[in-house]
Copies of this chain bind each other. A is one copy, B any other.
Amino acid sequence: MRIGELSRRSGVPVPTIKFYVRERLLPAGELTSPNQAEYGPDHERRLHLIRVLLEVGGLSLAAIGEVLEAADDPERPVIKVLGSAAKGVPPLGEGEAGPEQERARQDVAELLERRGWQVSEEGTAAESLAGVVAAMRRVGHGGLVGLMDLYADAAESVARADLDYVMRQVEREDLVEGVIVGTVLGEAMFGALRRLAHEGVSVQRYES
């Protein structure tokens, strides 16, 4: 299809599509004449993916570029793509060497030990979690840290289902895309469900 048709089908304006091509987020179309390129269903799918990462995931264009580069590199292990797909919660208090941050890192290390999760402790997710724990204490709600194991149970059951889903994908391309979409949209799905559950469970409790 021509770029105009791609724009109509995806809802993305032509100049934006051209911008994505220049920024290497989207492969160029196949030139059929010096001034005309042909686009296919892969382009359309990639465009939808970019929009989802932007609009639901809140990723920056630079972050999307990194994720897609990892996705397109057949040598890259899938687990590493997962890492770059993980939307970075700004690791609050990073670099602060205060006793609060140290204590929170220790809490996270002990949790990982308890659960038998072998992960890079210096990774973004572990550092983010420590930042969240430190922040809970800083605002006077350290009691919330006591919910961490229960949250970890829930997170593990969700993560197992995520992994089962992506492992069912036969093609590497679908697998990698499933990881990206699952990471970003799964987080948004859980967040919305948790807010609905807050309201729904509150109503049940008030009624009974």
Contact = CB atoms under 8 A, between A and B. Distances in A.
Interface string A18-29: 000000000000
Contacts of A157: 150, 153-154
A37 interface: no
A156 B191 contact: no
B112 A196 contact: yes
Interface in A164-193: 165, 168, 174, 177-178, 181-183, 185-193
Interface in A77-106: 79, 82-83, 86-87, 89-90, 92
A199 B112 CA distance: 11
Contacts of A153: 157
Interface in A129-174: 129, 131-133, 135-136, 138-141, 143-144, 146-148, 150-163, 165, 168, 174
| Dominant secondary structure of chain A at its interface with chain B | helix
A201 to B, nearest CB: 5
A52 interface: yes
Nearest to A155: B193
A12 interface: no
A5 to B, nearest CB: 17
Nearest to A140: B45
Contact of A125 (B161, B165, B186, B196): B196
A1 interface: no
Contact of A194 (B185, B190, B200): B190
Given A45-B140, A56-B90, 11 more contacts: A48-B139, A52-B138, A55-B90, A86-B195, A117-B199, A118-B204, A128-B191, A150-B161, A154-B155, A156-B201, A191-B191
Interface of A: 45, 48-49, 52, 55-56, 58, 79, 82-83, 86-87, 89-90, 92, 112, 115-120, 123-126, 128-129, 131-133, 135-136, 138-141, 143-144, 146-148, 150-163, 165, 168, 174, 177-178, 181-183, 185-205
